[in-house]
Amino acid sequence: MARAWHLKSRPDGTPTHDNFELKDIELPSVEDGQVRIRNLWLSVDPYMRGRMNESKSYIPPFQIDAPMDGGAVGEVVESNAEGFATGDLVSHFAGWRDEAVLLAKALTKLPELSARAQDFLGNLGVPGATAYFGLLDVAQAKPTDIVFVSAAAGAVGSAVVQIAKAKGMTVIGSAGGKDKCDFVRSLGADQVIDYKAGPILTSLREAAPDGIDVYFDNVGGDHLDAAFARSRLHARIALCGMIGGYNSREPQGFRYMIRMIAMRVTMKGFLYGDYVGRLDEFYREMGALMAAGAVKSHETVVDGLENMPDAFLGLFTGANTGKMLVRV
């Protein structure tokens, strides 16, 4: 019998264990064009919080008492579809469970790169591509730029730091607490800010006395306001996460947004999905950076499907360094 996490109730503010329930599910038989997958790795992502609300977003909300889903990497254990054989490794979107029967077209065979399976949920997956295209395409970062990135110890942020350094940029990363800051420093960041140690604006002023050209935003709030305050002429802000705002229904206050006018700042929201047509370019470039050792993988692994809610809740208390994964 397969098992899948279900959303039992919609969280009000920060989620709790009571919002989730692990239930047995009946898998259908594998029909023509379908395969059965045994999941190896499940992705645990901040954006999933948004799907727990009822409101429509860029991705449909989770339904109450239905299996949840998300990114995953698994192994084909039974195939009735051309092109897929037992033992093939695939990425797909039927996460939050141990097994699934899926149409072949819902699967992506992992490309032939000298990388581990779980990398395709990290630096070679959604977080890595989000970092790559957000930094280089959305924010148009150039080698001479001073780049500020928040949540720099997270899955996306740690990739941003490493890609930016590999391209010759000056990088300021922020993270919460000494361990995470040490980690960000180990990634090559030129300056590291512990946002728990004092007002982010004060820290950023010290870390970037000449201001910043790019801000890769993963958290919104005070970090974004500090970026407004320190933006240089023609600075670019890529809006990706705003994890700080996911659990909150309070408005975010900004004192320095008005500087966007004087400094002609451009701020853009974007999603990974905008770039699926350019994944070949990404695999080629990011694969090369990883093969050269310029971008390394860092993950926090929680073992066991039954601990998926722990892993998810940990995102909001800063439990992860790098990509948060569940090993099934």
Q: Does 1 bind its own copies (CB under 8 A)?
A: no
Please identify which residue in 207, 242, 286, 302 interacts with its own copies, judged by CB under 8 A: 242
3-state secondary structure of 166: helix
Q: Per-residue string for binding with its own copies, 260-299, x by CB under 8 A?
A: xxxxxxxxxxxx--x-------------------------
- Pairing of β 108-109 and β 170-175: unpaired
3-state secondary structure of 54: coil
Place of tokens 């790795």: 41
Residue 164 or 235 having the CB closest to its own copies: 235
Site for its own copies in 183-222 (CB under 8 A): 220
Q: Does 13 bind its own copies (CB under 8 A)?
A: no
What the block records as the tokens of 139 is 């924010």
Residue 117 or 271 having the CB closest to its own copies: 271
Q: Does 257 bind its own copies (CB under 8 A)?
A: yes
Candidate segments 108-116, 123-131, 258-266, 313-321, binder of its own copies by CB under 8 A = 258-266
In angstroms, what is the minimal distance from the CB of 11 to its own copies? 17
Closest-CA residue to 226 (of 249, 195, 248)? 195
The full DSSP string for 57-98 is -SSPPPPBTSB--B-EEEEEEEE-STT--TT-EEEESB-SBS
Q: How far is CA 222 from CA 64, 134, 150, 197, in A?
A: 33, 20, 11, 14
Kindly state the DSSP code that residue 209 receives in the 8-state scheme: T
Candidate segments 89-97, 106-114, 120-128, 233-241, binder of its own copies by CB under 8 A = 233-241
Please identify which residue in 45, 98, 225, 299 interacts with its own copies, judged by CB under 8 A: 225
* Residue 272: how many other CB atoms lie within 10 Å: 21
How far is the C-alpha of 240 from the C-alpha of 243, rounded, in Å? 9
Please identify which residue in 101, 185, 254, 306 interacts with its own copies, judged by CB under 8 A: 254
Q: Does 58 bind its own copies (CB under 8 A)?
A: yes
Candidate segments 150-158, 182-190, 254-262, 316-324, binder of its own copies by CB under 8 A = 254-262
Q: Which residues bind its own copies (CB under 8 A)?
A: 57-58, 220, 225, 239-242, 245, 249-255, 257-271, 274
